[in-house]
Amino acid sequence: MTEAKGKVIHYSKVEGQSMGDVAPGATIRWLIDDDHDGAPTYALRMIELAPGGHSPHHSHPYEHENFVVEGEGQVLMDGVWHDLKAGDVVFMPPNADHQYRNAGSTVFKFLCGIPVKKLLPK
């Protein structure tokens, strides 16, 4: 972990990483994290789902918070799909089974806040 320093950058300047075969059409940008920025508590990511793309169907022992930036998508929570559009927020509690998918014809983008690695349950 690096020492925490301030950071100002446009999100598009942060390189996106493919999520691979488990999430076709999905890209993640680690906007703020403990490894690169020394963030002590929270990491902020931009998730981008191309048309037809989706995140893995998964769960994890920590919460996360989402803010939809643009596009149309859906989130599966508690076995129910919920429609999402720009300006919507999602609170995903720990251990909730969930998945996100693009439901539109343009890129679906949302911010995702999670605890930094050192705070994640082992």
Instruction: Give 74-106 as a DSSP string.
Output: EEEETTEEEEEETT-EEEE-TT--EEEEE-SSS
pLDDT per position as a tens digit, 39-57: 889 999 999 999 999 999 9
Confidence check: pLDDT of 38 > 70:
yes
Count Cβ atoms below 10 Å from residue 23 Cβ, excluding itself.
Answer: 21
Q: Say which DSSP state 37 is in.
A: H
Tell me which architecture the domain covering 23-119 has in CATH: Sandwich (2.60)
Query: 5: pLDDT confidence band, cut at 50, 70 and 90?
Result: confident
User: What per-residue confidence (pLDDT) applies to 111?
Assistant: 98
User: What per-residue confidence (pLDDT) applies to 117?
Assistant: 75
Q: Residue 49's closest CA among 18, 87, 11?
A: 18
Considering only residues 4 and 17, tell me which one the structure prediction assigns the higher pLDDT.
17
pLDDT per position as a tens digit, 12-29: 999 999 999 999 999 999
Query: 121: pLDDT confidence band, cut at 50, 70 and 90?
Result: low
Task: Give the C-alpha distances (Å, rounded to integers) separating 118 from 1, 21, 40, 121.
Answer: 9, 27, 8, 8
Confidence check: pLDDT of 35 > 90:
no
pLDDT per position as a tens digit, 93-111: 999 999 999 999 999 999 9
